[in-house]
Structure 1
Amino acid sequence: MQTYLVGGAVRDKLLDRPVVDHDHVVVGALPEELLALGYKPVGKDFPVFLHPQSGEEYALARTERKSGHGYHGFVFQADATVTLEQDLARRDLTINAIAQDEHGALTDPYHGVRDIEARVLRHVSPAFVEDPVRVLRVARFAARFAPLGFTVAPETMALMQQMVRDGEVDHLVPERVWAETRKALGEPQPSAFLRVLREAGALRVLFPEIDALYGVPQRAEFHPEIDTGVHMEMVLDAAAKLAPGDDLVGFCALMHDLGKALTPADELPRHVDHEHRGVAPLRALCARLKVPAEHAALAELVCHEHLNAHRALELRPATVLKLLSGLDALRRPARLDAFLLACEADKRGRLGHESDDYPQATYLHEARATAAAVNAADFVARGLTGPAIGKAMEAARIDAIGALKSNRRRS
């Protein structure tokens, strides 16, 4: 029995990146042997075990062959006869098909080290086409490694395009599409996720609402980048910088301008009412991909209210309170944080505006604190009861926001 460190742990060591997960493959062993050593079984489809001390994953070397459509259409073989090279052959990319033994020696039959040095995302074998999830995974790895200069190998992109033409991505289950998308939104350059999917032809299949934004013009005085799809990419990357690793902010940024794809042609490049038009496609996408409730709810608020956030300094105090109340920001300040980060990303996701200040965020945070400081107990002490307390609190909060606004103007 021999064990090897494999996959992302080896790749990230070679890239001098922090290693988060340590996955291992076991060659020349049977499940009974690992059980006898105290390993705990966790795999359902194939033998995966947790180390009795470290808790790290150890999987028996295995091969797989296609037996149907989609992610689950595989038959696995895992026994003591499967070699390390056979196990590595089933992996998606060469940079993920490197193994390291206990002495640090590398096994690299598919030249993953060379591709790491060349900054290339390349498939291991023609069997790549058998798993449609790999289209999403390559796009996600592009979002992670684009800042390091990684690009997709032309021959790998050609395979991905063929998978789309053959209808393989049509068999992806919503949960897996969302899982990969959510991870991509937390990567350093999520725009690469969209670009890779679009070049492969998968964006129009999996995210038609987003694909429809490309080629839609915007007013150059507000959007020097013109193309709404390009703006979307810039907003995503701005969100990744403002809120690193935060897929909630990233999803809100991704969804905020869907309505621009529905602007009538005779109104272009203006997009009047796009914040309302975007709600229907946003809801359709969230329902189709089974997006978590909080992601869907906050994304809809960003879609509907981002223009009010941009105009916050000009809004009447009553409108500011209405905005804060609609966000439930008085009770849930973290929600306001995520909302404003997505709105700031929208402001910065424009050519030449990447470093713009966003004083609206400071003002709305101050307005929330001011409104939240109004206490019901003060009105109860005055003898008010029932609905009268709520009305009095609303009026007091509007007055407090008004005073804040006046003080800001004077200063």
Structure 2
Amino acid sequence: MKIKPPASARVYLVGGAVRDALLGLPAGDRDYVVVGATAEAMRAAGFAQVGREFPVFLHPQTGEEYALARTERKSGRGHTGFVVHADPAVTLEEDLARRDFTINAIAQAADGTLVDPFGGVRDIQARVLRHVGPAFVEDPLRVLRAARFLARLAPLGFTLAPETLALMRQMAQAGELASLTPERVWQELARALRSPAPGAFLRTLRAAGALAAVLPEVDALYGVPQRADYHPEVDTGVHVELVCDMAARLAPGDDVVGFAALCHDLGKALTPAALLPRHPQHEQRGLAPLRALCARLKVPNEHRELALACCAEHLHVHRLAELRAATVHDLLTRVGGFRRPARIAQLATVCEADARGRTGFAEAAYPQAAQLRRLHAAALAVDSTAIAARGLHGPAFGAALRRARIAAIAQARGEAVDTAPDSAAEQA
């Protein structure tokens, strides 16, 4: 038997499903708002209520969300301080009024008719991201959501409405973003990094004066000069925007690679002024702020470890052709390439994004990426069981395996291979 909402209810498709259909984008999750029903009636119809505070229900057959029309009233500071009121008397327009942006405040009836009280269709046509109403300022998370939507929609030509940017600045200046939890900040950041244009996320937050509140280590990069012969964009913050966008192009939807791209140059903000525009040792200087950022936002270990590896080693990868085979081997070891083989491809991608994330270099060749992957594959192909069969164990086994891998790297480069044992222990 097909489960349906109560007969007295009016059901509308809302939110992202309507917006994306109007934009011609692939369909995602389908969410519905139910007008004129009670929680008791929804449960009686066979819907499963999610939680106690919010009147949201799951369809038992499709898993789609059905939420009772509701209003929200600010009751405290931050993005969680709201009192929710759901009642059969709440209208569709009242429900849509609580939403963040006009493009998300469009509903579609079962017959296809659009309900658009705030001009969302017009803003989609004009490619403008605009807040619905003055209640926007009540939720500081919406500042990050605006920036994240620009990361997704900027390639389609979307810009931020000036009046929305003004409200975002007001919220940032009032210190509202300090109430955001690390988990919510990370969630929005990760979603931005999975978007096609993460650089727009950074630009939008900075324009709103909000980047310093959520990512001070990244905000500190803006205005820091680099050598124009290597970096025609000069400004390190602009470089990071370009690198993030290139990472999104090279590894679409990969927020692990995206986070490493975002953080690879944090040390440039700490370069002594007397050394500018050069940045010697910025790789090592960047590790402390990177660790602080990861600790504050509770960044997952996978993201943290790749970001630390890329921060420390990206210049070595750029100079890969100059490195001795033994140095290449030790680089692969330091970043965990033999324990976590997939990390080398990620490192290569981040380094390519760094090299091509410069003004005028977007289409430049970066042979180091393919070369690093090839040398890594050669080292991985070494048969450790054959070494163990020689009766070696402990330090002698480790030394022999290292030497064999170095030889494989050298051979893959067409270099002469030194087959002499490293130590007396290995000869035993």
TM-score, normalised with respect to structure 1 = 0.98
1:65-117 deviations in Å (ceiling 9; x for gaps):
11111111100001111110000000000000000010000000001000000
1:369-391 deviations in Å (ceiling 9; x for gaps):
11111122212222223321111
> Aligned ranges for residues 40-189 of structure 1 at < 5 Å?
40-189=48-197
**Cα separation, 1, equivalents of 2:287 and 2:339:** 24
Paired AA for residue 34 in structure 1: M
**Cα separation, 2, equivalents of 1:165 and 1:104:** 42
* Aligned residue number for residue 305 of structure 1: 313
**Cα separation, 1, equivalents of 2:180 and 2:393:** 56
1:181-228 deviations in Å (ceiling 9; x for gaps):
000001011111001100110001111111111111101111111110
Instruction: Give the superposition deviation at 1:311.
Output: 0.9
Instruction: Give the superposition deviation at 1:349.
Output: 0.4
**Cα separation, 2, equivalents of 1:314 and 1:407:** 13
- The change in CA–CA distance for 1:56 and 1:306 in structure 2 (over 3 A counts) is same
Q: Structure 2: any 5+ residue segments left out of the alignment?
A: 1-8, 417-428
**Cα separation, 1, equivalents of 2:356 and 2:132:** 39
SS in 1 for 2:413: helix
* Aligned residue number for residue 425 of structure 2: none
**Cα separation, 2, equivalents of 1:376 and 1:334:** 19
1:358 corresponds to 2:366: yes
* Aligned residue number for residue 296 of structure 1: 304
**Cα separation, 1, equivalents of 2:305 and 2:218:** 18
- The change in CA–CA distance for 1:51 and 1:14 in structure 2 (over 3 A counts) is same
1:120-146 deviations in Å (ceiling 9; x for gaps):
010001000000000000000001000
* Aligned residue number for residue 243 of structure 2: 235
Q: Structure 1: any 5+ residue segments left out of the alignment?
A: none
* Aligned residue number for residue 395 of structure 1: 403
**Among 258, 273, 280, which residue is 1:265 paired with?**
273
> Aligned ranges for residues 303-342 of structure 1 at < 5 Å?
303-342=311-350
* Aligned residue number for residue 254 of structure 1: 262
Instruction: Give the superposition deviation at 1:45.
Output: 2.7
**Cα separation, 2, equivalents of 1:384 and 1:169:** 59
**Cα separation, 1, equivalents of 2:389 and 2:199:** 55
Aligned length: 408
**Cα separation, 2, equivalents of 1:167 and 1:386:** 57
Paired AA for residue 279 in structure 1: L
SS in 2 for 1:58: strand
* Aligned residue number for residue 4 of structure 1: 12
The root-mean-square deviation of aligned C-alpha atoms, in Å, is: 1.1
1:216-246 deviations in Å (ceiling 9; x for gaps):
1101111111110110111011001001111
**Among 357, 360, 375, which residue is 1:349 paired with?**
357
Runs of 4+ in structure 1 over 6 Å off: none
Instruction: Give the superposition deviation at 1:337.
Output: 1.4
**Cα separation, 2, equivalents of 1:359 and 1:165:** 46
**Cα separation, 2, equivalents of 1:14 and 1:305:** 44
* Aligned residue number for residue 382 of structure 1: 390
* Aligned residue number for residue 295 of structure 2: 287
Instruction: Give the superposition deviation at 1:326.
Output: 1.5
Does the Cα contact within 8 Å between 2:348 and 2:373 map onto a contact in 1?
no
**Cα separation, 2, equivalents of 1:216 and 1:264:** 11
**Cα separation, 2, equivalents of 1:331 and 1:198:** 38
1:20 corresponds to 2:54: no
**Cα separation, 2, equivalents of 1:140 and 1:43:** 27
**Cα separation, 2, equivalents of 1:387 and 1:243:** 39
1:351-374 deviations in Å (ceiling 9; x for gaps):
111011111111111111111111
**Cα separation, 2, equivalents of 1:289 and 1:385:** 43
* Aligned residue number for residue 47 of structure 2: 39
Paired AA for residue 140 in structure 1: R
Percentage of identical aligned residues:
64
**Cα separation, 2, equivalents of 1:200 and 1:150:** 17
**Cα separation, 2, equivalents of 1:51 and 1:108:** 25
Instruction: Give the superposition deviation at 1:338.
Output: 1.3
Instruction: Give the superposition deviation at 1:407.
Output: 5.5
Does the Cα contact within 8 Å between 2:337 and 2:344 map onto a contact in 1?
yes
* Aligned residue number for residue 426 of structure 2: none
1:258-281 deviations in Å (ceiling 9; x for gaps):
000000000000000000000011
Paired AA for residue 138 in structure 1: A
SS in 2 for 1:191: helix
